[in-house]
A and B are shown apart, each in its own frame.
Chain A
Amino acid sequence: MSFTLKGTIAALAASTMLTGAALADGHAKPLTGELRIMSDMSNPAPRAVMEGLAADFGAMHPDLNIELEIVDREAWKTQIRNALTANAPDVVNWYAANRMGPYVNAGLFEDISDMYTDGSLPGLEAVKGAMTLDGKQWGVPYTYYQWGIYYREDMFKELGLTEPVTFEDELANCQKIVDSGKKCYAIGTKFLWTAGGWFDYMNMRTNGFDFHMQLARGEVAWTDERVRETFANWRKIIDMGGYIDDHQSYSWQEALKFMTDGDAASYLIGNFAVPHLREAGLSDEQIDFYQFPTIADVPQGEDAPTDTFHIPANASNKDNARAFLQYVTSADVQTKINAGDALGQLPVNAASSVDADEFLEQGFAMLSTNAQGGVAQFFDRDFPAEMASVGMEGLQEFMVFPDNLDDILARLEEAATRIYEK
Chain B
Amino acid sequence: MTHSTDPAPSKGWYARNEIRVTPWLFLLPGILFFAVYVVVPIFQSVWISFHAWDGLGEKEWIGLGNYERLATDRKFETSFWNNLKWLFLYLLAIPAGLFIALFLNQKVWGIRLYKSLFFFPFVISQVVVGLVFSWFYLPNNGLFDVIVGFFGIDISGGVLGNPNTATYGIIAAGLWPQTAYCMILYLTGLNAVDPEQVEAARLDGAKGWKMLWFVILPQLKPATFIAFVVTIIGALRSFDLISIMTNGGPFGSTRVLSFFMFEESLSEFGFRMGYGASIAVVLFLIMLCFIGYFLWSMYQDEKGGR
- Residues of A in contact with B (beta carbons under 8 Å apart): 74, 77-78, 81, 85, 102-103, 105-106, 108, 190-192, 245-246, 248-249, 380, 385-386, 388-389, 393-394, 396-397, 400, 411, 418
Contacts and interface: CB of A to CB of B under 8 A. Distances in A.
A400 B57 contact: no
Nearest to B251: A397
Contacts of A102: 54, 56, 271
A246 B56 contact: no
B251 A393 contact: yes
A397 B269 contact: no
Contact of B157 (A191, A249, A386, A393): A249
B268 A77 contact: yes
Contacts of B156: 245-246
A78 B54 contact: no
Interface in B113-170: 138-140, 156-158, 160-161
Contact of A396 (B249, B266, B269): B249
Nearest to B142: A249
B250 interface: yes
Q: Which 5 A-B pairs have the closest CB atoms?
A: A389-B269, A249-B161, A106-B56, A397-B251, A246-B139
B247 interface: yes
B249 A393 contact: yes
A386 B272 CA distance: 9
B82 to A, nearest CB: 15
A319 to B, nearest CB: 26
Nearest to B74: A411
A388 B251 contact: no
Given A77-B268, A78-B266, A400 B56 contact: no
Given A74-B268, A106-B57, A380-B269, 10 more contacts: A78-B268, A103-B56, A246-B140, A246-B156, A248-B250, A249-B161, A386-B272, A389-B267, A394-B251, A397-B251
Contacts of B160: 249
7 contacts: A81-B271, A246-B140, A246-B158, A246-B161, A389-B268, A396-B249, A400-B157
Contacts of A105: 57
A81 B267 CA distance: 12
A308 B138 CA distance: 37
B247 A249 contact: no
Contacts of A249: 138-139, 157-158, 160-161, 250
Interface string B265-277: 0111111100000
A386 to B, nearest CB: 6
A396 B250 CA distance: 8
Nearest to A391: B269
B252 interface: yes
B55 interface: yes
A401 B251 CA distance: 10
A192 to B, nearest CB: 7
Nearest to A82: B55
A400 B139 contact: no
Interface in B171-229: none
Interface string B51-80: 000111100000000000100001000000
A214 to B, nearest CB: 21
A418 B72 CA distance: 13
A380 B54 CA distance: 18
B161 A81 contact: no
A193 B200 CA distance: 67
A388 B269 contact: yes
- Most chain A CB neighbours (cut-off 10 Å) among B246, B251, B268: B251
Nearest to B250: A248
Contacts of A418: 69
A51 to B, nearest CB: 26
Contacts of A248: 157, 161, 249-251
Contacts of B57: 105-106
Contact of B56 (A77, A81, A388, A411): A81
Contacts of A246: 139-140, 156-158, 161
A396 B140 contact: no
Nearest to B139: A246
Contacts of A78: 266-268
Contacts of A81: 55-56, 271
Interface in B247-270: 247, 249-252, 263, 266-270
Given A246-B158, A248-B157, A249-B138, A400 B271 contact: no
Contacts of B263: 389
A190 B139 contact: no
Contacts of B271: 81, 102, 385
Contacts of B157: 245-246, 248-249, 400
